[in-house]
Amino acid sequence: MITSLLELEELANCKRCDEASIVEELRVCIGSSCVSRGADEIEKNLKTAIENKGLQNRCRVKGVGCSGLCANGTLVSHYKNSTKENTLYEEIILDDVDALVASIEEQKSYSLKVCDTNQLFFTKQTKIVLENAGIIDPNDIEDYIAHGGYATLFHVLHEMMPVDVINEVKISGLRGRGGGGFPTGQKWESVYKVQSDQKYIVCNGDEGDPGAFMDRALMEADPHKVLEGMIIAGFACEATKGYIYVRAEYPIAVEKINRAIKQARKLGILGNQIAHSGFDFDIEVRLGGGAFVCGEATALIASIEGNRGNPRQKPPHLSDYGLWGEPTVLNNVETLANIPSILKNGGEWFKNIGTPTSTGTKIFALTGHIKNTGLVEVPMGITLRELIFEIGGGVSDGKALKAIQTGGPSGGCIPTQFLDLSIDYDSLKSVGTIMGSGGMIVIDESSNMVELAHFFMDFCKSASCGKCVPCRVGTTQLTLLLEKYIAKEATQANFELLKELSKVVKGTSLCGLGQTAPNPVLSTIRYFESEYLEGIKND
């Protein structure tokens, strides 16, 4: 049990002392992407090879979270404690293990597979949320503590009042990272102000948006950061219970979060009387069931309560009537993971990163026809050009860029004329798309935009819960209409109908799913109308 900041620091120092005896470390990325290429086998074999050479006292092998450049996995980095030097190796396969260990024995670099960390992919990133990803062992709470983890929580519990915490978050200008962009401080304040014996903090880890995997990587790489943010949120809103709702499709993330909760409970960082401060807080994990609509706030709450994930009318808002009818804060994984850094460095510090209305950094999942697929964290306000061409390395296979899709099935496509657009909540909105949770899909010239719009509409159709008519019937009819365009059998009247129906579904659906489902259609009509017109038969 840790009861004070002093004891926490002692533990951190103790862990650091242990570390000091280790001269080198081999950090194997055990994020989902690398694991599917055999990273866990590589980790095991590296351990055996190191032991066979009798190097285990000098060099330790540890599994770490995603280092970002998933395109070139499996990534293994070699860290030297004396010089703090870190060499990154890419595309490591089982056959490389012996040679890699041999080069470590000879104190040389394994030059064959060195990854240049001076390339723009690495140098243009600003890592706040992902600061520990690729560095600490997500399975080890002590590693997190040794890197300064939970110190902010202890400081908050002992030195601050809930109002101070809320004020700091308000100053920071942090906005919800799930896509909506609602100011987090304001959300907390409204729950804080409601009088109730029981309040809840819910963390939304139901990353249903196809093409996005930021929250997954974050939960896998640094689960304790999410917990720390949640506990601070609990303290600020005077809630005593938290739930993390995670997709069942993310088994590794579930395992990491569950282990983190167990470790935190054991040290008294979760449970009754956290750090002898008189504050109680505990967290439970709830598994999702693969329903996209459960990303919607009221549907998610229904799902945690053990019901079908049907959304309901708002108001009442969750801040008044949330989980089991009690005031509830619902925040995205990435939002909560920002909290420890904000409280540690101050709201003013955070405000200076990014743009005046969109502060801080954002994690993006770069996928599609792009060279450097993977996970990047960049300051808000960076341009699409920088993100796609400098960090992302441009379009793959030498093809030309056609559009960039953000916001998943609720978002839209940005054509190339807006490449110099700043990436922030408001600029993206002005061109007809949304920030979304951070999936960024790069589309090259070979793709057909009507087919893409159809793909998203078909997705929304199957994801619709069926409760309200505009969404249930509307998405089906829109899918059928789009099929006519793909078959090149549409009429001019269909085009008018497509536009009108989109507007009706957008304006009359009950929840966010239906209200945003036509966005991919409307945005592709706006910028790629000619492709729709090609689908109209001439007669």
Instruction: Show Cβ contacts of residue 533 under 8 Å, excluding neighbours closer than 6 positions.
Output: 495
By CB under 8 A, name the one of 8, 12, 33, 332 that touches other proteins: 33
**Helix (H) or strand (E) segment spanning residue 525:** helix 519-527
Interaction residues for other proteins, span 196-215 (CB under 8 A): 207-213
Alpha carbon distance 247, 212 (integer Å): 13
Q: What is the CA radius of gyration of the chain?
A: 24
Applying CB under 8 A, what is the total number of residues that bind other proteins? Answer: 56
Core vs surface per residue 260-281: b (16+ CB within 10 A) or e:
bbebbeebbbbeeebbeeebeb
**Helix (H) or strand (E) segment spanning residue 229:** helix 223-237
Quick one: 308 exposed, middle or buried, by C-beta within 10 A (0-12, 13-18, 19+)? middle
**Helix (H) or strand (E) segment spanning residue 187:** helix 184-193
By CB under 8 A, name the one of 287, 486, 504, 522 that touches other proteins: 287
Alpha carbon distance 241, 234 (integer Å): 7
Compare residues 173 and 368 and give the one whose CB is closer to other proteins: 368
User: Residue 32 interacts with other proteins (CB under 8 A)?
Assistant: yes
Instruction: Show Cβ contacts of residue 28 under 8 Å, excluding neighbours closer than 6 positions.
Output: 34, 39, 42, 43, 46, 61, 62, 63, 64, 74, 75, 76
User: Residue 441 interacts with other proteins (CB under 8 A)?
Assistant: yes
Compare residues 89 and 459 and give the one whose CB is closer to other proteins: 459
Task: Classify the phi-psi angles of 330: left when phi > 0, otherwise alpha if psi is within -120 to 50, otherwise beta.
Answer: beta
User: Residue 94 interacts with other proteins (CB under 8 A)?
Assistant: no
User: Residue 452 interacts with other proteins (CB under 8 A)?
Assistant: yes
User: Residue 292 interacts with other proteins (CB under 8 A)?
Assistant: yes
Interaction residues for other proteins, span 349-368 (CB under 8 A): 365-368
Closest among 79, 12, 125 to 361, alpha carbons compared:
125
Structural contact between residues 276 and 3, judged by C-beta atoms closer than 8 angstroms: yes
CA dist 452 → 22, 292, 409, 430, 457 (Å): 51, 18, 10, 21, 9
**What backbone torsions phi and psi does residue 211 show, to the nearest 5 degrees?**
100, 5
Which residue stretch of 154-162, 193-201, 329-337, 450-458 sits at the interface with other proteins (rule: CB under 8 A)? Answer: 450-458
Interaction residues for other proteins, span 309-328 (CB under 8 A): 309
**In the bound complex, what is the minimum distance in angstroms from residue 85's beta carbon to other proteins?**
27
Which residue stretch of 52-60, 107-115, 181-189, 436-444 sits at the interface with other proteins (rule: CB under 8 A)? Answer: 436-444
Structural contact between residues 44 and 8, judged by C-beta atoms closer than 8 angstroms: no
**In the bound complex, what is the minimum distance in angstroms from residue 124's beta carbon to other proteins?**
18
Compare residues 342 and 465 and give the one whose CB is closer to other proteins: 465
Which residue stretch of 2-10, 119-127, 246-254, 348-356 sits at the interface with other proteins (rule: CB under 8 A)? Answer: 246-254
Compare residues 67 and 77 and give the one whose CB is closer to other proteins: 67
User: Residue 369 interacts with other proteins (CB under 8 A)?
Assistant: yes
DSSP three-state, residue 104: helix
Compare residues 50 and 471 and give the one whose CB is closer to other proteins: 471
Compare residues 204 and 359 and give the one whose CB is closer to other proteins: 204
By CB under 8 A, name the one of 152, 341, 359, 405 that touches other proteins: 405
Amino acid at 273: Q
The residue length of the chain stands at 539
**In the bound complex, what is the minimum distance in angstroms from residue 465's beta carbon to other proteins?**
8
Compare residues 210 and 394 and give the one whose CB is closer to other proteins: 210
User: Residue 308 interacts with other proteins (CB under 8 A)?
Assistant: yes
**In the bound complex, what is the minimum distance in angstroms from residue 501's beta carbon to other proteins?**
23
Alpha carbon distance 438, 214 (integer Å): 7
Structural contact between residues 453 and 510, judged by C-beta atoms closer than 8 angstroms: no
Binding mask 371-400 vs other proteins (x if CB under 8 A, - otherwise)?
Answer: --xxx-------------------------
User: Residue 461 interacts with other proteins (CB under 8 A)?
Assistant: no
User: Residue 291 interacts with other proteins (CB under 8 A)?
Assistant: yes
By CB under 8 A, name the one of 84, 197, 278, 306 that touches other proteins: 306
User: Residue 250 interacts with other proteins (CB under 8 A)?
Assistant: yes
Interaction residues for other proteins, span 42-71 (CB under 8 A): 70-71
By CB under 8 A, name the one of 178, 181, 381, 408 that touches other proteins: 408
**In the bound complex, what is the minimum distance in angstroms from residue 305's beta carbon to other proteins?**
5
Compare residues 236 and 413 and give the one whose CB is closer to other proteins: 413
Instruction: Show Cβ contacts of residue 439 under 8 Å, excluding neighbours closer than 6 positions.
Output: 209, 210, 211, 212, 213, 214, 364, 365, 367, 405, 406, 407, 408
Task: Enter the DSSP assignment of 360.
Answer: S
Sites of contact with other proteins (CB under 8 A): 32-33, 35-37, 70-71, 73, 207-213, 216, 247-251, 286-292, 303-309, 365-369, 373-375, 405, 408, 439, 441, 443, 447, 452, 455-456, 459, 462-463, 465
